[in-house]
Chains A and B, each alone.
Chain A
Amino acid sequence: MTEVIATTPAWVMLAYLVAGVLFILALRGLSSPETSQQGNRFGMIGMGIAVATTLIVHGVGLPLIIGAVAIGGGIGFVIARRIAMTAMPQLVAGFHSLVGLAAVLVAIAAYMNPGAFGILNPDGQDIATASKIEMGLGVAIGAITFSGSIIAFLKLNGNMGGAPIMLPGRHIINLSLLAAILILVGVFGLQTPLLFTMIVVASLAIGFLLIIPIGGADMPVVVSMLNSYSGWAAAAMGFTLQNTAMIITGALVGSSGAILSYIMCRAMNRSFISVIAGGFGGDAAVAGGAAAEARPYKRGSAEDAAFVMKNAESVIIVPGYGMAVSQAQHALREMGDLLKKEGVSVKYAIHPVAGRMPGHMNVLLAEANVPYDEVFELEDINGEFAQCDVAFVIGANDVTNPLAKTDKTSPIYGMPVLDVEKAKTVLFVKRSMGGAGYAGVDNPVFYMDNTMMLLADAKKMVEAINKDLG
C-alpha cells in the first residue's frame, strides 16, 4: 500500500504521452481515404505502447492476463471479420456498451483496491477526495454508456421495435435521476459502498430511460452521442488513474462523438435537446398518409426505368436506409457499371443522415466497390440536380422532400434536403405507396409529372433494371 503518484517513472509518463499523440494521428489520417489506413496503424501502435508500458510497470507475464487478452482479442477479431457491413451500426453500439461496462468494472476495482491504483491519501487510510469525485463521474458515465448502448444495440439489431416507447412523466424521472446522480457524485466524498452502488444503479437506469423513447431514424444522433459518452467515461477514469493516454484519448473520443452528434442534428434541423427528449421518428409513422393516398401518381416498370436511364446523359443516385435494409448496394453498383458502359455519367449523392449512423451509406457503397470519388456529399452535389437527366432515389424519402424548403408547418421544415425534384426525371424506388417516411410526411415528389414510381423491393427492382440494361 505504499505506491504513491511520485513513484511513476518519467519514461512511463512519456510513453503514455506518445500513445496519446499516436491516437491523435490515427484520427488525423481519416481526413482522406488515402491516409486513413496509415492512421489506423498509428492507432494500433499507440495502443500497443500503452498496453506494453502498463504491463512492464505493473508486472508482466501473468498468464491470467495474457489469457484474458487472448480470449477478448480472439472474440473481437472474429466478430470484426465476419460482421456484415449493413450491421455496422449495431456493431458500433455493441462495442460502445463494452467500453462502458469496462469503465464501470475498472472503477469498482479501483474503489475496492485503491492502493494498487495509487489514489490513497498520503496517510494511506482513505481514497483522496478528488479521486473519489473523478471516480464517481467515471462510473456514472460508464454505466450510462453501457445501458444506453445496450438499448441502442437492441433497437438497431431489430430485437426491439424501432418505435419510440414513451413513459408518462419521463422528463421528470430523467431530470430527477440526473440530479440524484450529480448529488451522489458530489457527496461521494463521504464514502460508503452504498453511495457507490446507488450511483451505478441510478446511472444504469438513466441510460436505459434516455434511449428507449428515441425512434429508429434518430439513431445516428444516439450512436454518436454514446460514442461521445464512452470517451468522457475514459477521460474521467484517466483523471482517477492519472494517466495521460487515457485523458487525451477520452477528450478526443468525447469531442469526436459530440461533433458527429452536432452534424447529425444540423442535418435534420433539430436541436440536440429535442432529439434526446425523444418521441420523434417511429419506424412506422403513418400520420398524414391517409388523406394523400388518392392523389394520382405515375407507376413505372423496371423496363421503363432502364430505358430512361440508358438514354440519359447523367444519372445521380440517391441511396437511403431502404437500400441498406434490402442489401441493394451490390446490385446498384452493377447498375452504375452498366450505365457507364452506355456512356452515362453516374454519381452518388449522400445526405448526412441517410442510414442509421454517420457515413453509413458511404461504407456500404465502398463495400460494393463504388469508387469514393463518385460519391458526393449534399453541399457538393446539390447544385447538379438541375442539370442532370435522372435522379434515381432508392430507399430514401424525407431527405428528398421539397416541403422541407417551403412548408413552414411541416415537421421537417428547415432540414437541408437533396433537390431531386429539379432533375428532368425522378425515378423513385419505394416498397409501396402506403408508408410515408419516418417523419410521417407525404412527399410531393411522388406526384410530380416527371416522377416515375418504381414500387418494389429495392434490390429486386435494381436487379430487374440490370437485366433490361444488360
Chain B
Amino acid sequence: MEHLIPQLSIFVLACFVGYYVVWSVTPALHTPLMAVTNAISSVIIVGALVAASAATGGSETSKWLGLGAVVLASVNIFGGFAVTQRMLGMYKKKERKAEAK
C-alpha cells in the first residue's frame, strides 16, 4: 500500500496541472488538443515494451500481446503527432499583420 501514496500524490497534482493548462488552451485549437492528447496517451507503449522485451521466464503469449500493443501504440504516436503538426501548420495570421511586426 505504501508505494501507492507517492503515486497518488503525483496523480492528483497532475490532474490539477491538467485542469489549469487545458483551460488556457484557446478554443480554436481544441481539435489539435484532442489529437495531441491522443498521441501522448500512447505513452502506454512503455508497458507494451516491457511486455514485449520480457525475454526470459515469461510466457510467449504475453510477449506477443506486448508486441501487438507496441504496434497499436506506435500507430497512435506517429499518427497523432504528425497529424497535430499538420493541423498546427495550417493556422496562420493575416499576412499584413505579419509584415507590420
Contact = CB atoms under 8 A, between A and B. Distances in A.
A77 B44 contact: no
Given A68-B74, A106-B51, A40 B58 contact: no
Contacts of A91: 83
A27 B39 contact: no
Nearest to A379: B27
Contacts of A251: 11-12, 14-15, 17-18
B77 A76 contact: yes
B91 A36 contact: yes
B97 A248 contact: no
Contacts of B81: 40, 43-44, 47
A83 B83 contact: yes
Contact of A253 (B40, B51, B88): B40
Nearest to A134: B4
Task: Name which of A115, A237, A254, A359 has the most chain B CB atoms within 10 A of its CB.
Answer: A359
A3 to B, nearest CB: 9
A39 B24 CA distance: 14
Size bracket, chain A contacts: 35 or more
Nearest to B86: A80
Contact of B61 (A59, A80, A112): A112
A39 B80 CA distance: 14
Interface of B: 1, 3-4, 7, 10-12, 14-15, 17-19, 21-55, 57-59, 61-63, 65-95, 97
Interface of A: 1, 5, 16, 19-20, 23-24, 26-28, 30-33, 36-37, 39-40, 43-44, 46-47, 50-51, 54-55, 58-59, 62, 64-65, 68-77, 79-81, 83, 85, 88, 91-92, 95-96, 98-99, 101-103, 105-106, 108-110, 112-113, 115-117, 130, 223-224, 227, 230-231, 233-235, 237-257, 259-260, 263, 350, 352, 357-360, 362-363, 366-367, 369, 371-375, 377
7 contacts: A27-B36, A43-B39, A77-B82, A130-B4, A247-B7, A255-B22, A256-B34
